[in-house]
Amino acid sequence: MKRFMLVIAMAFCAALPAHAEVVSSAPNGFVSRHVVTVPMSPAAAYDRFVRVQDWWDGAHTYSQSAANLRVTARPGGAWIERLPNNGFVEHMRVINAQRGKTLRFDGGLGPLQTMPARSVMDVSFALDGAGAKVTMTYSVGGYFSDGAAQLAPGVDMVLGQAMARYAQVSGPGR
């Protein structure tokens, strides 16, 4: 019975961000951080993260379908979305890929892509007990006509939802 309760508790905790917040915000930028723990090795957690099409919400894509997303974690790789008529969106470039340790992207998600801003997403994978602690930090800086503080809550919310979905599909038996 204790083992069953432990598995249920781990499944519940894996589906929720352990920690999420806008770490800092200023007129010229902000930092959003989300942390989840998933019941798999850091290498398996990395592999799951790269399969973005399995956990990203299609409502937050240009095509309205997460099935069109791909991350290619290699030199020259990118987070790409296929669009109709051979179109595409390059959301972010992969600038550092170390399986089971680090995945780093350079580029703006969503409306940030249209702004004179620079965005870096850093995802780290670390052993945490019997699972992996996955920390996503998204740092954004640049010129924002209405100030970056106006954008921070919305970006943070989308990333928080994404990490909750990532944790959910990374739960026990996945």
Is 137 inside a domain boundary? yes
Q: Does residue 143 belong to any structural domain of this protein?
A: yes
Residue 69 has pLDDT above 80, yes or no: yes
Tell me whether residue 80 is in a domain. no
| pLDDT tops 90 at residue 111 | no
State the pLDDT at residue 8: 29
Per-residue confidence (pLDDT) for residue 113, from 0 to 100: 92
- Count of domains in the chain? 1
CATH number of domain containing 136: 3.30.530
Q: Which residue has the higher pLDDT, 8 or 136?
A: 136
Contacts for 29 with CB less than 8 Å, ≥ 6 apart? 117, 139, 140, 141, 142, 148
Where do the DSSP E strands lie in 57-101? 69-71, 78-83, 87-98
Any domain includes 88:
no
Q: Which of 60, 25, 8 is nearest to 166 (CA)?
A: 60
Supply the pLDDT for residue 114: 92
Residue 35 lies in a domain: yes
What confidence score (pLDDT) does residue 32 get? 97
Q: What is the pLDDT, as a whole number, of residue 138?
A: 98
Task: Examine residue 61 and state whether it is found in any structural domain, yes or no.
Answer: no
Q: Is residue 163 part of a domain?
A: yes
What pLDDT digit, counting tens, does each position of 72-94 carry? 999 999 999 999 999 999 999 99
Helix (H) or strand (E) holding 111: none
User: Would you say residue 79 lies in a domain?
Assistant: no
| Dihedral angle computed from the Cα positions of residues 30, 152, 145 and 64, in that order, rounded to the nearest 10 degrees | 120
Question: What is the structure's pLDDT at 19?
Answer: 63
| Range of the structural domain that residue 163 is part of | 2-47+95-169
| Nearest of 78, 87, 89, 95 to residue 112 by alpha carbon | 89
